[in-house]
Structure 1
Amino acid sequence: MNSIAELDFKTALSEQPAYARLFSPEKLTVGLILPLETHPDSPAPTMHDHVAMAKKADEQGFASLWMRDVPLYDPYYGDVGQVFDPIPYMAYLAAFTRRIALGTAGIVLPMREPLLLAKQVASIDQLSGGRLVLGLSSGDRPAEYPLFGIDFETRGERFRDAYQVLKTVLEESFPSFSSQRFGSSMGTHELIPKPLVGALPTIAVGQAQQSLTYIAENMDGFIGSAPVPQQLQAFGKRWHDQVSASCGPERFKPLGIGGFLDLVDNPNEPLIRTRGGIRSGSKSLADFLHDARAAGVNHIALNPKVSRRPYAEIMDELASEVLPHFPSN
């Protein structure tokens, strides 16, 4: 049987505006991974008109804007994300937008100090009116870890350690915690502010070096790479069966997919899986998302940066051909 505290937390989470906008059983919503600019031949976007594009996404009804955590440029990977650090950038975009959820995809938690991160994200959640979704990952770039003096092989353990501290100080009043890496408290100090509704959704972006059982038991959702269409049913079943086994058959925890989108001119061009994402026409993409929704996928985060079409043109086509089938909650 669920405790009163667990029931209260689930109620608070469902009332958090960002969570409610993105996630609902048997529904699917569509978000965008920043930058809102195509740059297939360059590691860095120009970030020209980025505020205007964020406002456009908000006005067109996209569910979310997701920001990646790429602290340093590594020429080997040839990618700097949206240039700006996601924490201050979320706060900045919150001032120019009204409804769209602002997410991280995802904060590399083993490299972050969880007490300071908790203060930052709770502050943004308050200032934005509850529009923050905290996606968390372990990072996948071995060359970055020595720069922070951290052993790459320990990132899974560090993730669990930091996550426990983060969740405790976000959700408990005058929390007590003890961590070998991230300090301890005997309940003598309080985090102010707390999240707007007392809860902040934490989503695993990739498995973060954790088992699916750990994610289902401890986190509020999971976003994985887009599978090929033939594997959608198995992808959805694996997650929802794990949530049912870990949390009970009545518990809903959302499932998402994410990756690159190469949206071609021909709307009927069949969808194919590409490296890190999909290539498709808009009608074929909508068909894929209908199948994904039927398989239990609740959100898709698309990154069209690999396309050679103008980004505004891609947004307009998604807004006219895809979003009407999958409106934000």
Structure 2
Amino acid sequence: MPAQADDLTRAPDASPQTEPIETRVFRAAHLSIGLNLPLLPSGQIVADFNEQIALAQRADALGFRALWVRDVPLNSADYPDPVGHLDPWVLLGALASHTRQIALVSGAIVLTLRHPLHIAKGAISVQTLSRGRFILGLGSGDRPPEYAAFGANGDARRELYRRHWETVTAAVGPAPRVMPDAAPDGAPGFTLLPQPLRAVPMLAVGSGGQSVDWIARHAIGWMTYHREPDAQQARHSMWRAAVERVAPGEFRAFGTALRLELSDDPDEPATPILLGYRTGRHALVERLRALREHGTHHVSLNLPSSPRAPRDVIEELAEYVLPEFHN
């Protein structure tokens, strides 16, 4: 029997997850836990590709909900983060083909420094390779000198972010279409193939220079940096108010990226560090419970270089922390 016309536009043997991937990561009254890549041992700033794939596979098998991949094209001695990140699309493609259940999230593709149609093509490709496990996190970048390096106008980033978001949304949404920058007389129509398995969920990572109302209206949720409890609670309250204004009764996710130095001593109390805590696992569970109670739906853990091997840390987290939240 000949294939239906619609089937000819889709990748072969690419059936989507039965449950939308965003609901496995973000769910009301629940908190899930993910990991930021790369996971590096002490003193290493350039990721070993094969080791990252092996750690990703182990995180997948242990039940972590998401792997987060950053978009950091350039390094500078002036930047506080010395890590040499792999290109996000290359790494996401490899993760898609080497993992089975875990969500893959870009945290975040710099929407203002890449053409939106290239972003859409990458998102559809990763979604296809991962069979529906991709969440497209988008940001505007927080390093102004990079705008100059790429010949972009940093002063225009807010408007550029909105325009590019619209173009990506059209291309990866439920009725995919290409919005060209220009369409001279006689120009052909364009499509992006393969078609998305389903609309690619789009997540705001940081504010992108936009209001919380704009984010609540256009994104499945908002991912922010860690703040101390009172400041984070105020931010969450602002978010909930925005959701009720623009999408009353609808679910919009709220998540945070948390830097974690996990102590060998499980009873070590939590001590604040930049964007997170140094803590033993017992105090970590308490902090995560508090986040859940205050309405946080996902925490992505950033494990900085430390004397502990990354594999040892994720094994301990899987044995003693994940069962508190992933049941």
TM range (shorter): 0.7 to 0.9
Cα deviation, residue 278, structure 1: 2.2
Residue in 2 that maps onto 1:294: 293
Distance in 1 (CA, whole Å) between partners of 2:232 and 2:49 is 34
Larger radius of gyration: 2
Question: Which residues in structure 2 correspond to 1:154-233 (within 5 Å)?
Answer: 154-171=156-173, 173=175, 175=177, 177=179, 182-183=181-182, 188-197=189-198, 199-233=199-233
Q: Secondary structure at the match of 1:160?
A: helix
Cα deviation, residue 46, structure 1: 4.0
Distance change (3 Å), C-alpha of 1:177 and 1:232:
same
Residue in 2 that maps onto 1:28: 31
2:74 to 66, 72, 75: 72
Q: What letter is aligned with 1:235?
A: R
Which runs of 5 or more structure 1 residues have no equivalent in the other structure? 1-12
1:116 to 115, 118, 129: 118
Distance in 2 (CA, whole Å) between partners of 1:85 and 1:154 is 25
CA contact (8 A) 1:68 1:86 kept: yes
Cα deviation, residue 119, structure 1: 1.3
Cα deviation, residue 16, structure 1: 5.5
Q: Secondary structure at the match of 1:95?
A: helix
CA contact (8 A) 2:109 2:137 kept: yes
Distance in 2 (CA, whole Å) between partners of 1:184 and 1:290 is 52
Residue in 2 that maps onto 1:9: none
Q: Secondary structure at the match of 1:143?
A: helix
Cα deviation, residue 271, structure 1: 2.1
Cα deviation, residue 266, structure 1: 2.0
Q: What letter is aligned with 2:95?
A: L
Distance in 2 (CA, whole Å) between partners of 1:59 and 1:183 is 46
Q: What letter is aligned with 1:269?
A: E
Q: What letter is aligned with 1:29?
A: S
Residue in 1 that maps onto 2:282: 283
Cα deviation, residue 78, structure 1: 5.0
Cα deviation, residue 61, structure 1: 0.3
Distance in 2 (CA, whole Å) between partners of 1:78 and 1:216 is 30
CA contact (8 A) 2:41 2:310 kept: yes
Distance in 2 (CA, whole Å) between partners of 1:105 and 1:81 is 15
Distance in 2 (CA, whole Å) between partners of 1:268 and 1:316 is 17
Q: Secondary structure at the match of 2:39?
A: coil
* TM-score normalised according to structure 2 size: 0.88
Distance change (3 Å), C-alpha of 1:58 and 1:152:
same
Residue in 2 that maps onto 1:255: 254
Q: What letter is aligned with 1:189?
A: F
Distance change (3 Å), C-alpha of 1:281 and 1:293:
same
Which runs of 5 or more structure 2 residues have no equivalent in the other structure? 1-15
Distance change (3 Å), C-alpha of 1:45 and 1:91:
closer
Residue in 1 that maps onto 2:13: none
The answer to which of 319-328 and 270-279 deviates more is 270-279
Q: What letter is aligned with 1:65?
A: L
User: 1:116-160 CA distances to partner (integer Å, 9 max, x unpaired)?
Assistant: 211111121012110101111110112211111001221122111
Distance in 1 (CA, whole Å) between partners of 2:136 and 2:71 is 12
CA contact (8 A) 2:32 2:325 kept: yes
* TM-score normalised according to structure 1 size: 0.87
The answer to which of 281-290 and 44-53 deviates more is 44-53
Cα deviation, residue 282, structure 1: 1.0
Q: Secondary structure at the match of 1:110?
A: coil
CA contact (8 A) 2:44 2:305 kept: no
Q: Secondary structure at the match of 1:111?
A: coil
Cα deviation, residue 195, structure 1: 2.3
Distance change (3 Å), C-alpha of 1:166 and 1:15:
farther
Cα deviation, residue 283, structure 1: 1.0
Structure 1 position 234 matched with structure 2 position 231: no
How many residue pairs get aligned? The number is 310
Distance change (3 Å), C-alpha of 1:312 and 1:70:
same
Residue in 2 that maps onto 1:37: 40
CA contact (8 A) 1:67 1:106 kept: yes
CA contact (8 A) 1:176 1:184 kept: no
Q: Secondary structure at the match of 1:241?
A: helix
Q: Secondary structure at the match of 1:102?
A: strand
Q: What letter is aligned with 1:194?
A: Q
Distance change (3 Å), C-alpha of 1:176 and 1:265:
closer
Q: What letter is aligned with 1:170?
A: V
